[in-house]
Chain A
Amino acid sequence: MENWISEKNGQSLSLREVPVLRFAELREDIVEKCRHGMRIAGFFGHREEKTLRLFIVLASDAESTLLVSSAVFSEDEKSYESLTPELPQFSMFEREFYESYGIEPLGHPWLKSVRFPHDGAIKKNEADYPFFKVGGEGIHEVGVGPVHAGVIEPGHFRFMCDGEKVIHLEIHLGYQHRGIEKLMTFPGAISGKSVLAESIAGDSVIANMMAFCAIAESGSEGTPPLRAVVIRTIAMEMERAAIHIGNLAALAGDIGYLTANAFFGATRTYVINLLLAFSGSRFGRGLIRPGGIVYDIDPEIRKAVISSLKMVKDRVILMGEQMFDFPGVLSRFQRTGVVDAATAHKIGMVGLAARASGLKTDVRSDHPSGLYRFSPLHRLSMETGDVFARAFLRYLEIKQSLDFVLEQLEELSDEGSIMKSPAPLKADSFIMSLVEGVRGEIAHFCITDSDGNISRYKIKDPSFNNWPGLAYAVRNEGISDFPLCNKSFDLSYCGFDL
C-alpha cells in the first residue's frame, strides 16, 4: 500500500482510500517530503470507535496537489515521536493535536495548550502552563491582555524584556474559543451550518464561505452555476481589498499619521458599503449559500459598483503614493519586525506575511479553484520581511484585487442562473478545501459518516500558521514597536481560537 493518496484542492476522497498506517511508518516520509518543498496543511485527529485516527495533509504547491494519509493510535498508545524538532512548522499542529486528544509528541520543545478547548483531553488550568522565562539581571516581564486598551479581540501577550528590548514574546490565546468545530458536527444538513461558517472570522466571511461551500457542494457536479462563481469571487476580492485598506488605516493610526488613518478609514467604508448594496450586509453575510449565491448583481448595481470602485482605486493610489514616500512613515516601517525568508519557511508561515518575506505562496495560484483557474492572478511578493514589506504588499494587493473585480464586473452579463441546489454530502468521505483568505491559506476539512453526516469538521485559519511569525518578528525590537508589528501581521484571534 502506498503511504499517501494524492488529490486536488476541493475534491473529496472516500475514507477507505486514505491510507491507514502507524505514525512511525510515516514519520521519515513526512520529514523527507517537507525537506523537499512540501508543507503541512492539515494535521488533526478523529475518533473512530476504539481508535484514534490522525489525518495528515501535506501540500505540494509546485504540483498543485494535496497528499493525504492517516496514522492510527490504539487505546493504549499515548505518544509518538515529535516532528517539531526537525520541522518547526509542525509545532502548533502538534500542540493542537495533543490538547485535543492527549497524545504526546515526545521531544516537542514547548508543549502547551494552544487554545484551552472546552472538550480537550488535557488539563485546562492555565496555571499548569507557565510562560517561558528568560533569566538574568535586568530582565523583566510585561503582560498584556486578554482585555486590551481599544476595541480588539482578546489575547494575552507575555514579553520578556531587557529594558525596552523584547527578548522573547509568548502569545497565549484561546479566549475566543466558542466551539465552532463541534457545532459543525451537530445534527442537520450542512446548508444549515452556513451562518456558523460565516462566523468563523467576521472579517473573512466570504473566504470562509468559499471554503465551506466547496465542501458542501462536493457531492454534485456542475454546482454552483458559473455566474455564482464569478460573483462569489468578486465578493472575495472586495473583502480582501476592504480588510487590507482598513489595515493600512490602522497602521497609519499606530504611527500617528492621522491623514492616512482617516483617509483609508473612509475608503474602506466605500468598499464595504458596496458589499452591502448587493448582499444586504457590510461584510457579505447572507450572500453565499451552498449551491450558489442568494443576491444577484443586477445591471444597475453593477454600474454603480464599477464607478465607485474606480473612485476607490484612485483614492488608494493617491494616499498610498503619499504614504509610502513619506520619510516619517518609512523610518517607522523599514527594518522593523523583520522575518527573513528562511525563517518564514521554517516556521511554516503562509499568506501575505509569508509573501512579504519573499515566499511565493498563494493558494489562488498554487491550488487554484473556481474562477482563479480561468483568470489567474500574478503572484505578488516582497523581499524584506519587515513592517514596510507587509504594508506595501497590502497596498499592491488592494490594487490587484480592485483591478480584478473591475475586470470581472465589466465582463459580467446582465443575468443568469445563480443557484442550483447541491446534492447531499457523500457518505464515508474526506473532503478538503483550501482558499486564500485575506491573511493567507484557510483550510477546511470535513469527514462524513456512513449516513453522510458530518462527523468531524476541521478549520485552519492562516493565523494558526502565522502567530509564531509575529512572536519571532518582535525579537530584539523595542517593546513600543509591538503594536505596529502586530498590526502589520493583522492576525485573527477568533479564527485561531474557533
Chain B
Amino acid sequence: MFKFLKIRKVQGRQYIPDIRKASVNQKFRGFPLLDSSLCSSCGKCRDVCPSGAISLSPLSIDMGKCVFCGDCTQNCPHESIRFSNFHKLASDSREKLVINPGRSAENYCKNAVEAKREITKIFGRSLKLRSVSAGGCGGCELELNACGNVNFDMERFGIEIVASPRHADGVIITGPVSENMAFALEETYKAIPNPKIVIAMGACAISGGVFAQSEAINREFFSKHKVDIFVPGCPPHPLTVINGILDFLGA
C-alpha cells in the first residue's frame, strides 16, 4: 500500500495541461524556413533529399513528401534551409504543404487548417477514428499510440481510436498503402458510416514518402477519396497530430 502511494506520488501529473500552447524541444525538426537570398540553386539539397521533396528556383519544400531528416540542411553550403521547432504542421489541403522561401511558421499556421463547423455540428465534441496501418515502418503507429498516452491524452478532447469501423466517424491512415493492404483499407473505409473523414498521417500516407517509387505500393485509395487532414512528419509528433485535428474541429 505504501509503495503504491509512493508510485502515485512519483508519477505526479504527467499530462500536458495546455495542448494548444505546448511547444516541442528546440532540436525538433519542424516547420522549414527557407532563405532564397542565400540559395545559389546548386541543387545539393535536392540531390540528397530521399523523398524528392525539394524543388529549385524558386526553392521550395513539400512537407507532404519531406521526412524531416535534415540531410538537406547538412548538405547546403549556404544555410538556405533551416528547420524550426514549430510543430503545428497539419493542413487541410495538399497544396498548402508546399513551403516557399520567406514563409513563416505563424503565417503558415494561420490558415493551414480551416475549422469545419459542420463537422462539429454533426460529431459534437466526439470524434471516433479507425486506425489503418498500411505498409509503413510502424513509426507513425508509435506516435499515434502516444497521442492516447498519459502525456498527450487526446481522449480528453473526445478524440478516440475505436475498435470497429462501425463505431467510427473517420479513418486515420498511416503508411504508403502497400498493394497487400489496399483491399483491407478500402473495405474498412466502406464499413464506416457516412458522413466520414479521412486523415493521412505521415509522409508515407500523404505522398508515399520514401517508398513513393516502390512497385509494391498502391495509392488508388487516394485518387478515389478526399483527404480532410494531412499531418506531415516522419513520424509526426503527437502534438502535430492532436493540434491538427483540434484545428479541424474548430476546438
Contacts and interface: CB of A to CB of B under 8 A. Distances in A.
B141 A179 contact: no
Given A147-B132, A322-B3, A266 B180 contact: no
B216 A263 contact: no
Contact of A175 (B50, B51, B184): B184
Interface stretch (A60-68, A112-120, A357-365, A474-482): A112-120
B135 A176 contact: yes
A202 B141 contact: yes
B7 A263 contact: yes
A127 interface: no
Nearest to A294: B74
A423 B155 CA distance: 51
Given A183-B213, A195-B67, A280-B27, A151 B4 contact: no
A177 B181 CA distance: 9
B36 interface: no
B179 interface: yes
A179 B139 contact: no
A486 to B, nearest CB: 15
A177 B180 contact: yes
Nearest to B185: A147
Nearest to B74: A294
Interface in A276-294: 276-283, 285-286, 289, 294
Interface string B1-12: 001101110110
Q: Kindly state the interface size class of chain B when it binds its partner.
A: 35 or more
B217 A266 contact: no
A286 B8 CA distance: 36
B11 A266 contact: yes
B140 to A, nearest CB: 7
A196 B181 contact: no
Given A118-B179, A195-B67, A266-B149, A153 B141 contact: yes
A318 B69 contact: no
Given A179-B215, A315-B10, A273 B25 contact: yes
**Closest A-B pairs by Cβ, 3 of them:** A202-B139, A179-B216, A149-B163
20 contacts: A115-B180, A147-B184, A150-B131, A175-B181, A177-B135, A177-B216, A179-B215, A183-B213, A195-B69, A195-B210, A199-B136, A202-B138, A203-B142, A262-B11, A266-B11, A266-B14, A280-B68, A283-B235, A285-B68, A315-B10
Interface of A: 115-119, 146-147, 149-154, 174-180, 182-183, 186, 192-196, 198-203, 205, 246, 259, 262-263, 265-266, 269, 273, 276-283, 285-286, 289, 294-295, 314-315, 318-319, 321-322, 492-495, 497
Interface of B: 3-4, 6-8, 10-11, 14, 24-25, 27-29, 48, 50-51, 67-71, 74, 83, 130-146, 148-151, 161, 163-164, 175-176, 178-181, 184, 188, 209-211, 213-217, 234-235, 237
